[in-house]
Each structure stands twice: as C-alpha cells, then as structure tokens.
A and B are shown apart, each in its own frame.
Chain A
Amino acid sequence: MSFDVASLRRQFPILARPVNGKALHYLDNGASAQTPLAVLDAVRTYETTARANVLRGVHALAEAATESYETARADVARFLGVAADEVIFTGGCTAAINLVAQSYGSLLKPGDEIVLSVLEHHSNIVPWYQLAQRAGLKLRPLPVTDDGRIDVSALSSIVNARTRLISVAHVSNVTGAVADVAAIVSAARAVGAKVMLDGAQRAPHGPIDLPALGVDFYAFAGHKAYAPNGIGALWGRPELLAAMPPFMGGGSMIGSVSFEAITWAPPPRRFEAGTPPIGPAIGLGAACRWMMELDWTAVGSHEMGLTQRLMDGLAAVKSARLVGPAGLQGRLPVVSFVLDNVHPHDTAQILDSYGVAVRAGHHCAQPLMDRFDIAGTTRACIAPYNDNTDVDALLDGVREAVRRFA
C-alpha cells in the first residue's frame, strides 16, 4: 500500500496554520516534532475523564489514571521491544541520561573511563563531564569522520580495560548518521563495558528493536517523537536497574520509610520519585501506538525520498555544503548544511519568511562544530508528514539566502 501523506497530514492540525502569510513548512522536527490528534485525544481523554494521581488512590479516577499510565508504559515498552517494568518515565531524554549518569555513575570508581563521541549532543556530554569531575573519572571521546559519523575504527585504541560505559547518539542530531551500534557493542563487550544510546533522533522514525541492538541503556524524548513536552523514557537492562541506587528521593520510590531505615521500591518505581508527568506519559504511550500503526517501510521510503530530494537540491546550490553523509546509506532524514558567506541564523531567518521552520546554530554540539571548524549549520529534519512542497520551499529560501548574502 502506498503511503498517503495528505491523509497523514490531516492528523496534524497545526500544519494547516499559515506562517508569515505562507503555508507552514515545518522542518524543525529534530528539535520538536508536531503532535497528531491521536496523542492530543489521549491526553484530553485522561484530563477530562480520569484526571487523578496514580498508584495510591483507590477511587475510580485514580484506578483509571493508574491503568492509563501503566498502559502507556507497556506501549513504550512494545515500541522498544522490551518488558514494561524495564521502562522508566523521565522528564525527557536529558533527564534520562542524567539519571544514568547519577545513579549508574555512582557505582563507578576513580580512574574508570567513559567513552563518548565528538558528535554528541551536550546532553550526552555534560552529565558525564559533571560525573567525571565529581568522581575522578576520565572521558574519552571517539573521533568523527569527515562525513559526520562516529569513527568506530578508533574503538580499538580508545576502549580499554578501564572503560565502564560507552554512551553515544544512536543517530546524530547534526549529521543524521546512524551509529554503528554493532561495532560499539562488540568493543564494549570485549572489555566488559556497558553501552548507552541516546535515541532522541532515532525514536521519531519508528519502532526500535532493543534486544537486537544489544545495548544496556536507551533514552529518548517524547516531544521529538510526536508526544507532549516534559516526558521521556529510559530503558535499562533489568539486572543493571536492580543494582542501581535511586538518584532522587520522594514518594512512590520507596519500599518502606522510617527514620532508622529506608528501603527502595524495585525498578521502575525506584526511579520515578514524586507524582510523575501523568498526562504527558499517556501522550507518549499514544505516540508510540501511533508510530507502531504506521507502515514504516512505506514511511521510511517516503522520508528518505524527501531527503534525497533535499540533498539533490542542495547539491545544485554552488555555495552549499552538507555536514554529514552524502548518500542515504546509514543515515536518517536529519540534514545539516552550510552556505558559504551566509550565517545559519540568516539562512533560517530567510527561510522563516518562506514559512519554512528549521534549526540553525550549533545544535548543542559544540565539539562537533569545532571538529568541522564551523560556527553552526542550518538543519532540516524530515518527519512522516512532510512532503515535496516542504523541501521545495526550503530550497527556494536557500537560493534567496545565497542571492541576498553570498
């Protein structure tokens, strides 16, 4: 069955909103994706029929809220191919990485090493830097190739007997390159290290088979995956989660409390202190269900077709240069580029006047900007609801930016 983008677009009411007198061409999906009616409806249903706190109430609304919340957890788990009690709801992807850095990190010893990569988002650098400062650990960055991939050929010289964890982006938020997870897991296993993936840019592109990836921790954000803000998920291997101390104390995460001794609840509750973001979690569950109902062979083909159209269009602009893989192999539809003599902010501002929403700047990836000796890039991220008109409007705006400034 062919993919009907027009029908899909009707599920996203915001796409009908004009911007600057033009049709909206929303290509800032890597920062925040839009939310379909199915997700909005799920949140509204909770807020209007079952709004109550979860876990402790015995009344009807509390029961309904708890059931919806735990159903959402099960849906996220299905999306990841794992068991529900291995999924922790967090405030977002950043919160999930910080959870591992604080909790799993507290088990590490001075002299231990954590391997990251040069292309990481700051959210997968700063928590580890803070931990390293606090606990006397060493951070070892993997280099990045000229086409914006993690250079796995360097694993053999960087991963060693002191390595405890390798934490990298599943998909780069700048270059769109998909990490060679098999090589990374293999290198980690050889020295007994764990692997964490930051899946923020991977999750919006369909269900993930975590058992096949063979990693130990996986984090992703709701708002980039068609869900509300303020929610994310962390998956961890159950034996690791069971050995990890809580990183935040409060209600719901305890077994028993006295002034003499406190015991911890088992995961995932141990890591969900206080009242969780219930509505957003229900929205995330709905977003995962929505994604699981799509035909990702067709959607993926649609997304990569648009990516090719975008890259072909940029190739015809003399002053444009891609920052990332030139082909479609081993990449997702996150496309960064620079224009000679045109600053990314100016490009993005011109594009805004064409109704095109993109991201411009360093994308919270300053080490990668330094690697390429650039101040920033302009980035377009394609989602299932994008179509040819979005790409063509962007290319029109790019040509205007070049005409104006170059």
Chain B
Amino acid sequence: MSDALYHDRIVALAKSRAGAGKLEAPTASARRDNPLCGDRVTIDVRLDDQGRIAEIAHQVRGCALCQASAVALTSRAQGRAKNDMTALRAEIDAVLGGTAGGEGDFAAFAPVRPYRSRHDCVILPFEALKDALSSASSS
C-alpha cells in the first residue's frame, strides 16, 4: 500500500528539496498551516513587471507528500504568469480527483487519490502560493 504511495519519484522529489529556501527580496510571501496536522508551508515569490513569477522558493515543515508537492509546484510555477496558477491548481485537483493524469511531476501524485486524508498534504503548497499571489496583488 505505502509502496504505491511513496513511489520512487515522490521520495526523490521530497528528498531533492529543489526550490527550498527563502528569497532575498520577495514581492510577497505567505504561510499556510494545516490546523489538523500542524504542517506548515511558506512560499516566497518575486514577480517581474509582466506579472510573471520570476523567482519562487518554499519552506516546508511537513510530510514527504507536502515536500514533494512544494518541489513540483515551484518547479512548474517558475517563469509562468501568476494567472496560470489557477490552471495548475485545477490540474492537481484533477490528478487527486482521478479525472486527469497530470503533466510532468504532477502525475507523481496520482497514487495519493485513494488516500483522502492526505490530499491536504499535497494541496497545502498550492494554498500558500495562492495566498502569496493574492497578497502581491493587493500590495
């Protein structure tokens, strides 16, 4: 069971810590907590003049799924327009809902689908990014 969930790509993503850290001069930053389990994700973003995500970094105090999700998300978000993030969220929701396979590393999360209690672990970085972009828009 857990072999399917923690397959090699998920473990590799989590261990890679790619994109982990803080930005020196973020346009915005947001922290999200999962009140049920205590997981915590902070996302820093720096937007360029065109509203694209020029830089993004994450700090995760969470499980392997949350770590892997933060890596996959920040990798996909880098260089994209902030308005594209809605599509990325819809894509991960579809992967978890079993209605789409997902592109690139998002596909790695398909085995999480039957583990409903773990969906929030995957979603937390997306929520933090949404908050950061919302904060950037309002500032």
CA of A127 to CA of B40, assembled, Å: 25
Which residues of the partner chain A approach B5 to less than 8 Å between Cβ atoms?
349
State whether the Cβ of B25 lies closer than 8 Å to any Cβ in chain A: no
C-beta contact mask, A88-107 vs B, less than 8 Å → 1, else 0? 00000000000000000000
In chain B between 33 and 50, which residues have their CB closer than 8 angstroms to a CB of chain A? 36-40
Interface residues on chain A, size class? 10 to 19
Interface size class of B (residues with CB under 8 A): 20 to 34
In the complex, per-residue mask of B48-71: 1 if CB is within 8 Å of any chain A CB, else 0: 000000000000011111110000
Task: Determine the chain B residues whose CB is within 8 A of the CB of A291 once the complex forms.
Answer: none
| C-alpha gap A353/B118 in the complex (Å) | 15
CB distance from A355 to the nearest CB of B (A): 10
Residues of B within 8 A of A350 (CB): 2, 6
In the assembled complex, the CB of A17 is this many whole angstroms from the nearest CB of chain B, namely: 16
By a CB distance below 8 angstroms, the chain A residues around B61 are 375
Contacts of B6 in A (CB 8 A): 346, 349-350, 404-405
Whether A362 contacts B1 by the Cβ 8 Å rule is no
Contacting residues, chain B, for A369 (C-beta < 8 A): 38
Q: Are A366 and B38 in contact (CB under 8 A)?
A: yes
- Do residues B36 and A20 form an inter-chain contact, with CB atoms below 8 A? no
- A349–B114 Cα gap in the complex (Å)? 13
A343 at the B interface (CB under 8 A): yes
Contacts of A366 in B (CB 8 A): 38
Query: Which residues of the partner chain B approach A343 to less than 8 Å between Cβ atoms?
Result: 62-64, 66-67
0/1 interface trace, chain A 277-319, chain B, CB 8 Å (1 if under): 0000000000000000000000000000000000000000000
Closest 5 CB pairs of A and B: A343-B63, A362-B38, A353-B2, A345-B63, A353-B1
**A to B CB contacts below 8 Å, 15 in the list:** A343-B67, A345-B37, A345-B118, A346-B63, A349-B2, A349-B6, A352-B2, A353-B1, A353-B3, A361-B37, A362-B38, A375-B62, A404-B6, A405-B6, A405-B14
